[in-house]
Structure formats: structure tokens, C-alpha cells
């Protein structure tokens, strides 16, 4: 019943042993933050992804409801063979200081779209949820010098040892104690030694070739999962065509851009952010065209350099962000309509934290962030409240593409881009696939939608929260997008992260 994981040889185990802490990531934000319900229990889940695959993911579960006694966790494929055959789950450890906090370490043995299934049991019965995770090796870890030296010495010892044992065996193996070897013994020993040297050298050669094949294969997997380049061309003055160009030529054979799946209403979410100051941002939804490309008639926008982030989810549930930079002339296009939105404002401020963002008509959005410094790699609930022009909680919030809000976290150098929702950093399309595989009959709603059901007035609550954690220190700009009375509004906040 176990999912077939292939064992990887020694080389990778050594890579794991020397796992360094530094992180050069994919979309820059590999860890997964998720908030949702496992039956009667509300859970906040953080999955710290390993840098290498196979590798160990750290799972942290905070129970926000009482009564949970045990938490079990298990990884499995998100779709395809094995996705409905979970292996035996691991029991998560309860924290000594906090009985509501559970941790577990899980081996992720393969790359691709996986899910971590979490089963809670307690006073209110059982419940489960599933968190989709994008599993991929982020980098090849170099071997540490002392380890390399140690392994080299061991190799020399084994080599010399093997040869001398064979030679000594041939020379003295048949002698009685105290007898001196005759010239025939010595001759035989020399022949044996020569044969042993040839064999040992042959073995070393085979071992080295094996290592190189593994290393090349591993490097290919690292390259395969690097974000593809977003190749953009402008046609007829205002039509932007986007094509994915991956470093690995096999990428386009295996990932069919013509068969990406809808992710909250759209096949692609395209973000164009003005470089370098992030003082303009467009969130658009290109449609697929011939040959796996996507195209959109751009709205009016000024000439300039833009950073391109194009989010898609492939048919297996793996999220890809196409990355690029494009130089656009002044565009005289169509007005913003439908789910598209744009924002124009002040440039990114560094070393500064903004708490309030003005919205149109005197309304504002407030980041309820407390006074302490922001730290990287800490799971947080980013809470934003929307106030009308009188400072009262806004009464006119409505779902925007099915959710209470959408937040984009962008690092000042564009090395981090995360598109986050009230249910967390998992793509909604992958989440849907994960939930489809659960046994429970309870309808599972993303956190944002659950809130929609809980108000009588018909409007969403005026406070929206996003579970997320900054992946590294630096300056960030956060775009928080909500819909008020049919209009998409964007609150913008700058954050200095230590
Ligand atoms: Cu979104």
C-alpha cells in the first residue's frame, strides 16, 4: 500500500548530511502556510520545505480550537498514482510548553506536486485536512571541505588496505607460522597485487562515474524546477503575449501550458510591477492562445520597465510562476474591467514600516501588526482591517475572485513573490485537488469563504487575515487587494524584515 519511493544512493545522502542553511529559492518563498479546518478543529499549518529532495520537511501545527489530542501527518502525491493510498501516518509530537502545538518531521522522497495530509483526533471526534506542497530541490549543496577530506582519507585507506590484504594473502596465506615465503610465493603475490590494483582502480572509476551521473541527474532536477522565464512580446500596440521558456528543454515536453488548470477563476494571474520602485502594479488575467502561450489586451499604462510574475498551476497541481522583466512603451489600452485591477502610488520606502494605506473616497486599510519588529521565517497572521471614511469597519466588502482578499508579498529586489489568500500560501487550484482526495463529507471552504457565510449583512467582515511568513530578511512591499461595492481596491504596505 505504500507509495513507491525510489531510494537514492549515497551521493544524495551526503548532500543531505551537509545541508547548509542559506537559501536561494525558486519563487523565493518555498515554505507553505495554511489555515483551515480539519473537521471540527481549526488548524494553522506551517510546512518548512527541505532544500534538497529527498529531504525532511518540518511540519508545525497550531490548533486554534481546544480538545485536539493527537495529530498525525503523512505525505503523498497530490494527483495520479498513489494520491489516494496514504502510507502509515506519523504521530506528531506535542510541544512541552504548549499542548495546542504539534511538530513532526516528514521525509519527502520525490519532487512534484505532493500533499501533506493532517489527521486530528480529540474530544470532538476526528477530522482531516490536506495541504498541497510543491516539492522540489532548491539547490545542490556543496560538500563541506572537512567531510570531503575525511571521505578521501577513508577511500585511500580502503584502497591501500584492499591491495595489501590481497598481496599479503597471496604471499603468506599458505605458509605455516614462522615459515619464510619462497620466491614463488613472492611472484604470486606480485601478480595478485597487480590484479588487485587494476580491480580497485576499476571500482573507483565505476564509483566516480556513478557519482557523476547522480550529480548531473540531480542538477537537472534542480534546473527543471527553476521558475521558467516569462518571454513577453507586444503585438498590435497593446496585446501582451507571454510564453514560458524553461532552462531545461524537457520542461516544455513535460509541462503542458495548454493544459494548466483554473486557479480562482483564471488560468493565469499576471502581475506587472513597475521596476524598481514598485509604485505601479497591475493584476491581470491573460487567456490561453495557440501553442501554449497566453495573451492579454493591456489596459492603459505608462512606458517603463516592469517585473513580470505570471502564476499558473499545471494539471498535476504543481504551481509555476513565470518570471521576467519587460520594457513597455506607453500603452493606450482598454479600461480596467472584470477581475483585473491596478494600483498607482508612492515608491517603496525602505527601513520603514507603514501601517495605514489610503483607499479611494477617504477610506483606508490598516495593518494590525503590533509594534514589535518583523522577523523572517516566522509564521504570522497578517491582519488588515478596512475602514470607511468615518473610520468605521467597512460594510461593503464582497468576495474578489471568490475570496475575501488577495495579498502579494514582493521583496524589493523582486527575488520573493508570494500570492497569498486567507487560506494561506497554497494555490487555490492545488488546494481544490487536495480537498477532493479527502474522505470527509464536510464541505471544506477556504477561510475567506467561510467568513463570507458567517455574516448576516451579506458583506464580508472588515478584517481579512493572511497566514504567511517572510522567507528572508529585507524590504518588502505588500499589496492587499479587496473588493468593495464592486470595485477592487488595493492597500499597500512596506515592511522591513529582520
Ligand atoms: Cu489571488
Q: Is the pLDDT of residue 100 over 80?
A: yes
- Residue 37: other Cβ atoms inside 10 A: 20
Q: What is the DSSP string of 210-221?
A: HHHHHHHHHHHH
Quote the ligand 1 centre to 394 CA distance (angstroms): 21
Quote the ligand 1 centre to 179 CA distance (angstroms): 85
pLDDT band for position 463 (cuts 50, 70, 90): very high
> Cβ contacts of residue 417 below 8 Å, gap of 6+?
27, 28, 29, 271, 309, 321, 323, 408, 409, 410, 411
Can you read off the three cell numbers belonging to residue 92? 506528531
Quote the ligand 1 centre to 269 CA distance (angstroms): 8
**Count of all residues that appear for the chain in the document:** 498
Cell numbers 495541504 correspond to what residue? 131
Tens of pLDDT, residue by residue over 337-364, are: 889 999 999 888 876 677 899 998 889 9
Cβ proximity of 430 and 494 under 8 Å: no
What pLDDT is recorded for position 297? Answer: 92
Quote the ligand 1 centre to 400 CA distance (angstroms): 8
Quote the ligand 1 centre to 214 CA distance (angstroms): 38
Quote the ligand 1 centre to 157 CA distance (angstroms): 59
170-179, 252-261, 429-438, 466-475: which has the highest mean pLDDT?
466-475
Query: What is the arithmetic mean of pLDDT over 56-63?
Result: 92
Query: What is the arithmetic mean of pLDDT over 384-406?
Result: 91
Tens of pLDDT, residue by residue over 64-83, are: 888 899 999 999 999 888 88
C-alpha 325/C-alpha 344 separation (Å) is: 19
Phi-psi domain of 72 (left: phi exceeds 0; alpha: psi -120 through 50; beta: other): beta
Quote the ligand 1 centre to 70 CA distance (angstroms): 33
Q: Is the pLDDT of residue 157 over 90?
A: yes
Cell numbers 524584515 correspond to what residue? 497
C-alpha 199/C-alpha 193 separation (Å) is: 10
Cell numbers 588487485 correspond to what residue? 196
Can you read off the three cell numbers belonging to residue 240? 501582451
- Residue 267: other Cβ atoms inside 10 A: 20
Protein residues placing their CB within 5 Å of the ion ligand 1: 406
What pLDDT is recorded for position 457? Answer: 53
SS (H, E, C) 285-347: CCEECHHHCEEEECECECCEEEEEEEEEECCCCCEEEEEEEEEECCECCECCCCCCEEEECCC
Quote the ligand 1 centre to 165 CA distance (angstroms): 67
Quote the ligand 1 centre to 265 CA distance (angstroms): 9
Quote the ligand 1 centre to 417 CA distance (angstroms): 13
Tens of pLDDT, residue by residue over 189-230, are: 889 899 999 999 999 999 999 999 988 888 888 888 888 998
What pLDDT is recorded for position 488? Answer: 92
Cβ proximity of 463 and 385 under 8 Å: yes
What pLDDT is recorded for position 454? Answer: 44
Quote the ligand 1 centre to 480 CA distance (angstroms): 10
Cα angle value 316/12/226 (rounded, 5°)? 40
Cβ proximity of 95 and 334 under 8 Å: no
Cβ proximity of 56 and 133 under 8 Å: no
Q: Which helix (H) or strand (E) holds 51?
A: none
Range with the lowest mean pLDDT among 95-109, 167-181, 259-273, 413-427? 167-181
Query: What is the arithmetic mean of pLDDT over 104-114?
Result: 91
Cell numbers 499576471 correspond to what residue? 270
Tens of pLDDT, residue by residue over 236-293, are: 888 999 999 988 888 888 888 888 888 888 999 999 999 999 999 999 999 999 888 9
Q: How large is the C-alpha radius of gyration of the chain?
A: 28
Please report the sign of the dihedral spanned by the C-alpha atoms of residue 45, residue 49, residue 54, residue 60: negative
Quote the ligand 1 centre to 420 CA distance (angstroms): 7
Cβ proximity of 39 and 440 under 8 Å: yes
Quote the ligand 1 centre to 473 CA distance (angstroms): 24
Closest CA relative to residue 109, chosen from 76, 133, 61 = 76
Tens of pLDDT, residue by residue over 5-47, are: 343 444 443 333 333 333 333 478 889 999 999 889 999 999 9
Query: What is the pTM for the complete model shown?
Result: 0.82
Please indicate whether residue 147 or residue 429 has the higher confidence score (pLDDT): 147
C-alpha 181/C-alpha 198 separation (Å) is: 24
Cβ proximity of 34 and 45 under 8 Å: yes
What pLDDT is recorded for position 270? Answer: 94
Query: What is the arithmetic mean of pLDDT over 140-152?
Result: 89
Quote the ligand 1 centre to 18 CA distance (angstroms): 37
Largest CA-CA distance found in the chain, in angstroms, rounded: 108
Quote the ligand 1 centre to 248 CA distance (angstroms): 28
Quote the ligand 1 centre to 362 CA distance (angstroms): 25
What is the average pLDDT value for the chain, to the nearest integer? 85
Quote the ligand 1 centre to 365 CA distance (angstroms): 18
What pLDDT is recorded for position 170? Answer: 86
Beta bridge partners of 115: 76, 132
DSSP secondary structure letter of residue 363:
-
DSSP secondary structure letter of residue 412:
T
Tens of pLDDT, residue by residue over 120-129, are: 999 999 999 9
DSSP secondary structure letter of residue 66:
T
- Phi first, then psi, for residue 147 (nearest 5°) are -70, -40
Quote the ligand 1 centre to 421 CA distance (angstroms): 6
* First vs last C-alpha separation in the chain: 45
Quote the ligand 1 centre to 296 CA distance (angstroms): 18
Quote the ligand 1 centre to 33 CA distance (angstroms): 15
pLDDT band for position 439 (cuts 50, 70, 90): low
- Residue 369: other Cβ atoms inside 10 A: 17
C-alpha 448/C-alpha 36 separation (Å) is: 10
- Phi first, then psi, for residue 15 (nearest 5°) are -55, -40
Q: What percent of the chain has pLDDT over 70?
A: 90
Q: Is the pLDDT of residue 4 over 70?
A: no
Can you read off the three cell numbers belonging to residue 15? 548532500
What pLDDT is recorded for position 294? Answer: 93
Quote the ligand 1 centre to 425 CA distance (angstroms): 10
Amino acid at each position: 500500500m505504500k507509495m513507491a519511493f525510489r531510494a537514492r544512493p549515497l551521493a544524495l545522502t551526503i548532500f543531505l548530511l551537509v545541508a547548509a542553511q542559506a537559501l536561494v529559492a525558486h519563487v523565493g518563498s518555498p515554505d507553505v502556510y495554511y489555515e483551515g479546518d480539519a473537521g471540527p478543529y481549526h488548524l494553522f499549518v506551517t510546512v518548512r520545505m527541505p532544500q534538497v529532495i529527498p529531504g525532511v520537511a518540518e511540519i508545525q501545527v497550531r490548533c486554534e480550537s481546544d480538545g485536539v489530542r493527537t495529530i498525525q501527518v503523512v505525505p503523498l502525491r497530490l494527483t495520479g498514482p498513489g494520491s489516494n493510498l496514504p502510507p502509515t501516518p506519523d504521530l506528531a509530537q506535542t510541544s512541552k510548553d504548549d499542548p495546542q502545538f504539534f511538530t513532526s518531521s516528514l521525509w519527502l522522497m520525490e519532487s512534484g506536486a505532493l500533499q501533506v495530509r493532517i489527521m486530528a483526533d480529540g474530544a470532538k471526534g476526528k477530522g482531516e485536512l490536506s495541504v498541497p506542497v510543491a516539492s522540489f530541490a532548491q539547490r545542490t549543496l556543496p560538500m563541506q571541505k572537512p567531510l570531503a577530506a575525511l571521505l578521501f582519507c577513508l577511500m585511500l585507506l580502503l584502497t591501500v588496505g584492499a591491495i595489501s590484504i590481497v598481496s599479503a594473502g597471496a604471499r603468506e596465506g599458505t605458509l605455516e607460522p614462522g615459515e619464510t615465503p619462497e620466491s614463488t610465493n613472492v611472484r604470486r603475490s606480485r601478480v595478485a597485487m597487480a590484479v588487485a590494483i587494476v580491480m580497485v582502480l576499476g571500482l573507483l572509476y565505476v564509483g566516480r562515474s556513478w557519482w557523476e551521473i547522480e550529480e548531473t541527474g540531480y542538477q537537472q532536477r534542480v534546473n527543471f524546477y527553476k521558475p521558467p522565464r516569462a518571454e513577453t512580446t507586444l503585438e498590435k500596440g497593446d496585446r501582451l503575449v507571454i510564453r514560458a521558456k524553461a532552462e531545461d528543454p524537457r520542461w516544455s515536453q513535460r509541462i503542458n501550458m495548454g493544459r494548466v488548470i483554473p486557479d480562482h477563476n483564471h488560468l493565469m494571474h499576471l502581475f506587472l510591477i513597475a521596476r524598481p520602485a514598485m509604485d505601479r502594479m497591475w493584476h491581470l488575467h491573460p487567456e490561453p492562445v495557440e501553442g501554449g502561450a497566453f495573451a492579454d489586451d493591456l489596459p492603459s499604462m505608462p512606458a517603463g520597465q516592469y517585473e513580470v510574475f505570471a502564476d499558473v498551476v499545471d494539471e498535476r497541481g504543481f504551481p509555476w510562476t513565470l518570471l521576467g522583466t519587460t520594457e513597455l512603451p506607453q500603452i493606450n489600452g482598454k479600461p480596467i474591467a472584470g477581475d483585473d485591477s491596478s494600483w498607482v502610488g508612492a515608491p517603496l520606502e525602505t527601513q520603514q514600516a507603514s501601517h495605514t494605506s489610503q483607499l479611494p473616497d477617504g477610506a483606508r486599510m490598516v495593518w494590525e501588526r503590533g509594534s514589535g519588529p518583523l522577523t523572517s521565517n516566522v509564521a504570522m497572521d497578517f491582519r488588515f482591517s478596512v475602514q470607511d471614511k468615518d473610520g468605521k469597519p467597512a460594510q461593503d466588502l464582497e468576495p474578489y475572485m471568490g475570496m475575501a482578499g488577495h495579498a502579494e508579498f514582493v521583496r524589493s529586489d523582486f527575488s520573493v513573490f508570494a500570492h497569498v489568500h486567507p487560506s494561506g500560501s497554497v494555490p487555490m487550484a492545488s488546494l481544490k485537488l487536495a480537498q477532493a482526495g479527502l474522505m470527509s463529507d464536510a464541505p471544506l471552504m477556504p477561510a475567506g469563504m467561510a467568513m463570507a457565510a458567517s455574516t448576516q449583512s451579506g458583506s464580508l467582515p472588515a478584517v481579512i487575515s493572511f497566514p504567511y511568513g517572510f522567507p528572508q530578511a529585507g524590504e518588502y512591499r505588500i499589496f492587499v487587494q479587496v473588493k468593495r461595492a464592486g470595485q477592487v481596491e488595493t492597500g499597500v504596505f512596506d515592511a522591513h524584515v529582520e
